[in-house]
A and B are shown apart, each in its own frame.
Chain A
Amino acid sequence: MSFDSAYQSRKFNSVGTRPLRPDGVDKVTGRARYGADFNMPGQLVARVLRSPHAHARIKSIDTTRAASLKGVKAVVTAADLPDLTDGDASLFAILDNCMARTKAMYDGHAVAAVAAIDEKTAKAALKLIAVDYEVLPHVVDVDEATRPEAPVLNETVFTQGVEPAPTTPSNVANRSEFGHGDIAAGFAQADVIVERSYKTEQTHQGYIEPHACVANCSPDGTADLWVCTQGHFVFRQTCSDLLGLEVSKLRVTSSEIGGGFGGKTHVWAEPVALALSRKAGRPVKLVMSRAEVFRASGPTSATSIDVKIGAGKDGTITAASATLRYSNGPYADMWAELGAMTSFACYDLENVKTVGLEVLVNRPKVAAYRAPSAPMAAFAVESAMDELAAKIGMDAVDLRIKNVAKEGSRSSYGPVYGPIGIGPTLEAAKAHPHMSAPLRKNQGRGMACGFWFNFGGQTCTDLNVNADGTVSLAVGTVDVGGSRASLSLIAAEELGIPYEDVKAVVSDTATLGYNDMTDGSRGTFSTSMATISAARNAIEVMRKRAALMWEIPPEDVYWEDGHAHAAGTRHGNRAPLSVKEIAAEAANTGGPVAGHSELVADGAGVSFATHICDIEVDPETGSSRVVRYTVIQDAGKAVHPAYVEGQYQGGAAQGIGWALNEEYIYGEDGRLQNPGFLDYRIPVCSDLPMIDTQILEIPNPNHPYGVRGVGETSIVPPLAAIANAVSKAVGVRMTHIPISPPRILAALSDDKGS
């Protein structure tokens, strides 16, 4: 039944309220079960042997002594994961990253794994595995890797997207290009030009829960995987592909997830746990240590970006260009391409050109990290915009407003925009009290805009009306930030029943149809679409049941305020039938009442935000402190405002940590020096002020309630907002993230010197 996803404005009863979330009590009493909280009878403990070298050929692996150690039940190497990827490059990259096949490509790359009766035995067994490495020269820096003399990571990689096709292998795997118009002409007309290079270091999503799973392959070919993941259906597909299992025989259950931010959209050790279980014939529990999470899961890219913007004296941008180099880790992907697409997306430009270069380095395989690739590109562009405003002598916000993208503007990544909310966020920022509050000595104020795509994807929900009229809602999107609460609100709204009568649960892959990964801010957007559709289907069933109960034609029954009503006067004034009353007769009117929905939610629209940040710098030590922070973002419709605010605040906090303190630090030996929360410094409670939020609601025309995705955009502006604030506080343009105290102090002394 086709589902009309168009927006119809309405008065909301449940949507927009702040009820208590259904999974709250379990989480505050410690009963909620995360990845490492699940155990199976007779389970073994797994430990992974990881390469201590940044780049080395694996000549041989001798596991005989390990396998013969008492208590060891299985030892696996790449040989136990035969290549079933038949030419699918991205699937082969996942396989090779799970366990190195010919070369160890980074410090921490898995080379073998054991399953034993306890942790002590497993650790002892790892020491008995003899790996014959031929250590090769390595490169970890994104710029050094592009130099001709840099060691080549993969002899089969030739730069794609370049004409004529190069013939020598390179660490630059792909060149992408976007834009329109003639930038040469544009720059020629410019009165003022800003041209600068920017760098950002590699950061990690920083979820507090390390990856954990319990895998059980039974001899009859069926298998179970209990895992913390952002997409158990996608994990099922990937694990089936890699291990040659039938999709229907592998059931993946998503545990409560202790944070993901994109880092749990990708399998790391789960296929290894399944391989160990298959070989040992027993369940295997594999929990990564924090050091393993940093060394061998999926941090985001380190980047090196050149930006050039030209504008007339009146602030109109005549030309804008950017070259974006993103580290991908050892396997080619599309991270620079995403940066190139998002960099100038906030603006309506006549002449724009962006080039993305994917660079291979001896670092872990890059995975998505909340609006992947956008924060770094925004840092470079919004820093240049700030400098341009200063050069022209124009207010930073006014310069943005002058060039802002509107409905009908051609985006820098291609398509023309529909109705978008960046203009309103800029106007709101201009009018916000934060923008005019007084600043004290050594304090600077910065602002920045941010953009992210959102999307829908495949979604499937089941809505069952129980005999007492309460509703069970089964969804397939993983709930990290309270989406069970927001989806229950959506179901209650559409059915016209109280929120308390709805209980939402996340189903495993055996009890619900396929659902895409919970990423791209699609959780609430797409599953709310499917929930509304399921609710409307359930209403159709209940209308027919009421008709049967009243013995009148179904066309004469309409639904309103949670009740079936008999239309017109012909049927006398029958009292409306509530869901409870209809459900009570279900047995006699056709059986259980339910509504299902399987759809592809599309047209998610794009999402914009503007942030304002005040920072105080100690000029003598270079230390900096965020004293005030404001997030202004368009949510289309805030289903549960508290959790929308939570996305705004959480994204800003991650951005602040990224801007000031967080970075992967590699030694000369190519080994990660800070794989732990002590020296990979994410913001702590005493580092941050309260983070003020302002939710704008510009309805998304492609969603019945106008909902937009909100989960990712909030991490995009902070790097630039903070860089602009610090640059104002110290009077020197800061171009290298993180803006650590040594860098601020060095900038101050250079400035005094020059």
Chain B
Amino acid sequence: MSSIAVSTTINDDDVEFLCQPDETLLDVLRNRLGLMGSKEGCGTGDCGACSTIMDGRVVCSCLVLGAEAQGRKIETIEGMAQGSDLHPLQTKFIEHAALQCGICTPGFLIAAKALLDRNPDPTETEIRFWLAGNLCRCTGYDKIVRAVQDAAAEMRGEPA
């Protein structure tokens, strides 16, 4: 199979790569672009560890072909902090011990960012249903939800 040339934007940088027609965006990010922050937990869109934002919507990058990234705007975990300033969600996840092993954390942060970009003041139920596509086996989700609530409050400028 001949490779396909793709030009796209990842974390506001212009990126070009070659990929096979059946190669997923996740494999491109991890194996060709060295962006290993997105993790593969299942490869079938069931665990959310590979979540990335494509044109404003959070998607599983294991269910997107690399070729489909042409001309799209992609955000991965590596682009979430601005230089050395962590995103409030990143800071709150550490503060609340909202991660233990951390393999699911990049996916949760990307999904939570997509939520807060769209809904700055979500209820607990809205957070839990929005994040239902991100599996975590260590924490039982309690501290993850609290960290998202705390980050949302801070981003709205309210005291925690």
Where the two chains meet, the residues of A that have a C-beta atom closer than 8 Å to any C-beta of B are 18, 20-21, 23-25, 27-34, 36-37, 120, 205-210, 256-261, 287, 289-290, 480-482, 640, 642-643, 645-646, 649-650, 652-654, 676-678, 682-688, 690-691
Contacts and interface: CB of A to CB of B under 8 A. Distances in A.
A643 B97 contact: yes
B140 A27 contact: no
Contact of A21 (B76, B86, B97, B124): B97
B97 A18 contact: yes
Nearest to B81: A29
B3 interface: no
B42 A649 contact: no
Interface in B19-44: 20, 30, 35-44
27 contacts: A18-B97, A20-B94, A21-B97, A28-B99, A36-B30, A120-B20, A207-B101, A208-B41, A208-B135, A256-B103, A258-B102, A259-B100, A259-B137, A290-B42, A480-B138, A642-B97, A646-B97, A646-B100, A646-B138, A649-B140, A649-B142, A676-B42, A683-B140, A683-B141, A685-B132, A685-B141, A687-B132
Given A20-B94, A207-B137, A686-B129, A29 B78 contact: yes
B46 A649 contact: no
B118 to A, nearest CB: 17
A36 B49 CA distance: 13
Given A34-B39, A34-B103, A676-B42, A261 B137 contact: yes
Nearest to A33: B36
B42 A30 contact: no
A28 B103 contact: no
Contact of B36 (A25, A30, A260): A30
B96 A653 contact: no
A538 B35 CA distance: 41
Contact of B86 (A28, A37, A260, A645): A28
Nearest to A257: B101
Contact of B141 (A34, A258, A480, A653): A653
Nearest to A18: B97
B11 to A, nearest CB: 11
Given A21-B94, A29-B80, A290-B43, A208 B139 contact: no
B131 interface: yes
Contact of B95 (A20, A23, A257, A259): A20
B77 interface: yes
A646 B143 contact: yes
A36 B26 CA distance: 13
Residue of B78, B95, B134, B143 most packed against chain A (CB within 10 A):
B143
A77 B39 CA distance: 30
B67 interface: no
Given A28-B105, A650-B138, 20 more contacts: A20-B95, A24-B94, A28-B106, A29-B81, A36-B40, A205-B137, A207-B101, A208-B101, A210-B41, A259-B138, A290-B46, A480-B100, A649-B139, A649-B143, A650-B140, A653-B137, A677-B44, A682-B135, A685-B131, A685-B145
B144 interface: yes
Interface string B69-113: 000000011101100001000100111110111111110010000
A702 B42 CA distance: 43
Nearest to A293: B42
B134 A481 contact: no
The 7 closest A-B pairs by CB, nearest first: A30-B37, A258-B103, A653-B140, A27-B102, A649-B140, A642-B97, A30-B77
A33 B37 CA distance: 8
B42 A686 contact: no
Given A21-B94, A259-B103, A677-B46, A290 B141 contact: no
A677 B140 contact: no
The main secondary structure of chain B at its interface with chain A is loop
A690 B139 CA distance: 11
A677 B90 contact: no
Interface of B: 20, 30, 35-44, 46-47, 49, 76-78, 80-81, 86, 90, 93-97, 99-106, 109, 124-125, 127-129, 131-146
A654 B132 CA distance: 16
B49 A208 contact: yes
A711 to B, nearest CB: 10
B90 A28 contact: yes
Nearest to A32: B102
Nearest to B40: A36
Contacts of A646: 97, 100, 138-140, 143
A287 B42 CA distance: 11
A18 to B, nearest CB: 7
B29 to A, nearest CB: 10
Given A650-B138, A676-B42, A682-B135, A481 B100 contact: yes
Given A30-B38, A685-B132, A642 B86 contact: no
Contacts of B37: 29-31
Most chain A beta-carbon neighbours within 10 Å: one of B49, B99, B100, B105 = B100
Contacts of A36: 30, 39-40
A645 B131 CA distance: 21
Contact of A642 (B96, B132, B144): B96
Contacts of B145: 685, 690
A206 B140 contact: no
A107 B90 CA distance: 41
A688 B143 CA distance: 12
A682 B131 CA distance: 14
Nearest to A258: B103
